[in-house]
Amino acid sequence: MNNNKTALITGASSGFGYEFSKIFAKDGYNLILVARSENKLEELADELRNAHGIDVLVKPKDLFVSTAPQELYDELKTEGVHVDILINNAGFGNYGKFAENDLQDELNLVQLNVATVTHMTRLFVADMVARRSGKILNVASLAAFSPGPYLATYCASKAYVLFLTEAVVEEVASFGVQVMALCPGVSATGFQSTAKNEHSLIGGNVKALTMPADEIVAIAYQEFMAGKVVCIPGTSNKVGSFLMRFMPRVLIRKAGKKMMYTKELGQQ
């Protein structure tokens, strides 16, 4: 790869990952694109190489598999590629009653949203600390600020990402390494459809709450480069996260239950 700095982006084939890939490429970063779909990654890589003259490595990996982060890290080490910026974007949502959801889906969610983020962060932050430079962005969610009935495991996983990020920030800042948690609200990424909660109040196409993915990523990119620790795009989301710090948790839980309920779930 050329001498430009390199950003590794997981979940790069769609949604936030796709938008992050474009914005880093535009600023001249070489890219390492990671996702399960090799064909989509190759198409994106060709598009970005042609548009911006950067080097792009395609690394098709299934990050639901516990060994994938180490395999990716070892491959890059063997190839002599070091990562200046890590974007932990790959994530998964699972909507429904916790007692009825498929157990393997719940465990897969924890693997990807919690274990993989932890594994990737730990592997790459060690090199960054040793070099005294580097940046990591972990995609959390506005859901990290409250328990979420019918999205119980997802909200819990994103709370983990937020708190992990804020803790690691304090450990590595003196070594010149920056870490940020991105906490977007409802966004037009296809996440709601994948998580099967597109018909709930908060998951549906609520124009007052929904932000385009490219707008969220543009804000996140600016704040990431400015050294912010937690990024909450959108005024209403900032206000909501602030209010949740002072509201009784029982009210947050019950309000969340009403907002996330759909008739497809049956009896509440």
Q: CA-CA distance, 185 to 254, in Å (whole number)?
A: 19
Q: Alpha-carbon distance 261 to 268, whole Å?
A: 8
Determine phi and psi for 187, rounding to 5 degrees.
-135, 155
Residue 249, C-beta contacts closer than 8 angstroms, at least 6 positions apart: 146, 147
Structure tokens at 101: 């959801």
- The angle at the Cα of 183, spanning 185 to 223, to the nearest 5 degrees, equals 115
Task: List the structure tokens of 162.
Answer: 């937020």
78-103 exposure pattern, b = at least 16 Cβ within 10 A, e = fewer? eeebbbbbbbbbbbbbbbbeeeebee
Residue 193's alpha-carbon distances to 35, 196, 198, in angstroms, are 19, 5, 5
Would you name the residues annotated as active-site residues?
Answer: 154, 158
Please name the amino acid found at residue 175. F
In angstroms, the CA 257 to CA 56 distance is 43
